[in-house]
């Protein structure tokens, strides 16, 4: 499809919908862990042979999943018009950025929407890994990958609902990389985790995880918001009873850097100050924060992703039979977590992948939109925003120990 044809399909969809566009689900397979099977798919749909199993759903995505094998559009979201025509969201943003992002935001953010939301669903804890900081991600032509998590309530937490973060403070302060290096060289165990600390995953809570922080997320079903990137370096060899390919340690390392520095090079991705922060929990833990001015007749909104200008997110709850008027600062995508109703006149239904995901373009987002709950339970909607849209999102102050 040519750029002009993409623009025409997008214009037709905008005219028909008033700027509230329906998105198709983007399922992503991974081949290094078993699936949690909590994404609502038929049992037969999870296992995909050589590709592994469906473990993630990407939301409003313009980022391709960087998998070893898989289709060329894996991870990319499609916009679908009422006439059945569909186009890649990535193509729509590239062909007509002003229509989606607004003129001012498109001019200051030429790279596009700049964020990726997803649900990840694993039957075992993810291996201990790190996302390169920007200076290293740039070497392979990529973005860094700051991210944040939210653990929705009412879902089985899995066998290991705790996440390992960072390293013990003495490692960061005194010995640093030399403590971890033997595990990367030997590549035969999970004992590297003894140098990290684990924190419980609690429903309706979350964490903010900057690039450079070592982490091994637990088995809770997780809604994640991150920079639009898929870079990583795996640091844990043994996980869920199998040895992970060591190639994942060097996934985003240039061949010449691997040849020259070997296993030491990925250790340079680690931000030692953040990893050894003795108040890591206090500084990176996220609890819902009421959105200023948001409470209104019929519902309320809370910040669930914050503490960074790189992305932000809210949870909107509308009570049964009620209507709520929402206005935002810019383009965003959303997932209907639970309930039924309408959003800006578009029918929505949580738990139905054909009706639970929308994109709200800039011009629609900045005007009042009516959200109506037509069901008998709370309508719960999660909203995801890209960089610099919400300057009023909370920012945590660095925690300091109490002193008399």
Residue 46 lies in a domain: yes
pLDDT for the residue 67? 85
Task: Please state, in angstroms and rounded to a whole number, the distance separating the CA atoms of residues 67 and 392.
Answer: 36
Task: Please state, in angstroms and rounded to a whole number, the distance separating the CA atoms of residues 25 and 47.
Answer: 17
Range 73-93 average pLDDT: 93
Q: Domain check: are 263 and 210 in the same one?
A: yes
pLDDT for the residue 282? 93
pLDDT for the residue 403? 43
Q: Domain check: are 296 and 256 in the same one?
A: no
pLDDT for the residue 386? 98
End of a domain among 223, 252, 278? Answer: 278
35 class by beta-carbon count within 10 Å (0-12 exposed, 13-18 middle, 19+ buried)? buried
Whether 10 has a pLDDT exceeding 50, the answer reads yes
In tens, the pLDDT along 320-375 reads: 999 999 999 999 999 999 999 999 999 999 999 999 999 999 999 999 999 999 99
Range 198-204 average pLDDT: 97
Phi, psi of 54 (to 5 degrees): -70, 115
Task: Please state, in angstroms and rounded to a whole number, the distance separating the CA atoms of residues 16 and 54.
Answer: 33
Range 33-60 average pLDDT: 95
Whether 238 has a pLDDT exceeding 50, the answer reads yes
Range 94-116 average pLDDT: 97
Q: List Cβ neighbours of 397 (8 Å cut-off, separation of 6 or more).
A: none
**Range of the structural domain that residue 319 is part of:** 289-385
Tokens of 46: 């999870």
Task: Please state, in angstroms and rounded to a whole number, the distance separating the CA atoms of residues 99 and 93.
Answer: 8
pLDDT for the residue 404? 40
CATH number reported for the structural domain that contains residue 362 in this entry = 2.60.120.10
End of a domain among 255, 278, 301? Answer: 278
Whether 253 has a pLDDT exceeding 80, the answer reads yes
In tens, the pLDDT along 254-313 reads: 999 999 999 999 999 999 999 999 999 999 999 999 997 665 679 999 999 999 999 999
Lowest mean pLDDT among 36-45, 173-182, 311-320, 365-374: 173-182
pLDDT for the residue 83? 82
Domain count, the chain: 2
């Amino acid at each position: 499809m040519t750029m002009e044809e993409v623009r025409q399909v997008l214009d037709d969809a905008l005219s028909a919908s008033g700027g509230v566009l329906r998105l198709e689900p983007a399922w992503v397979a991974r081949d290094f862990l078993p699936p949690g099977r909590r994404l609502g798919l038929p049992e037969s749909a999870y296992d995909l042979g050589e590709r592994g199993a469906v473990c993630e759903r990407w939301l409003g995505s313009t980022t391709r999943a960087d998998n070893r094998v898989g289709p060329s559009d894996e991870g990319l979201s499609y916009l679908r018009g009422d006439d059945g025509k569909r186009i890649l969201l990535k193509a729509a943003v590239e062909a007509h950025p002003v229509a989606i992002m607004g003129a001012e935001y498109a001019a200051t953010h030429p790279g596009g929407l700049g964020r990726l939301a997803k649900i990840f669903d694993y039957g075992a804890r993810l291996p201990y890994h790190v996302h390169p900081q920007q200076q290293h991600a740039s070497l392979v032509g990529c973005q860094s990958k700051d991210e944040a998590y939210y653990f929705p309530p009412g879902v089985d937490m899995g066998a290991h609902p705790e996440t390992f973060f960072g390293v013990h403070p003495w490692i960061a302060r005194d010995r640093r990389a030399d403590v971890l290096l033997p595990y990367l060289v030997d590549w035969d165990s999970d004992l590297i985790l003894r140098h990290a600390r684990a924190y419980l995953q609690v429903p309706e809570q979350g964490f903010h995880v900057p690039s450079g922080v070592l982490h091994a997320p637990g088995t809770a079903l997780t809604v994640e918001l991150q920079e639009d990137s898929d870079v990583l370096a795996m640091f844990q060899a043994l996980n869920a009873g199998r040895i992970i390919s060591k190639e994942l340690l060097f996934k985003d390392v240039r061949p010449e850097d691997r040849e020259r520095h070997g296993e030491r090079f990925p250790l340079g991705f680690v931000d030692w100050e953040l990893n050894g922060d003795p108040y890591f929990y206090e500084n990176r833990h996220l609890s819902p924060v009421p959105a200023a001015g948001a409470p209104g007749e019929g519902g309320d909104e809370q910040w669930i992703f914050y503490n960074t200008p790189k992305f932000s997110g809210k949870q909107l709850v509308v009570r049964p039979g009620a209507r709520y008027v929402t206005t935002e600062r810019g383009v965003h995508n959303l997932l209907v977590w639970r309930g039924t109703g309408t959003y800006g006149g578009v029918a929505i239904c949580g738990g139905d992948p054909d009706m639970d995901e929308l994109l709200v373009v800039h011009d629609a987002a900045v005007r009042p939109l009516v959200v109506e709950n037509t069901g008998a339970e709370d309508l719960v909607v999660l909203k995801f925003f890209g960089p610099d849209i919400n300057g009023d999102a909370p920012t945590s102050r660095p925690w300091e120990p109490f002193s008399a």
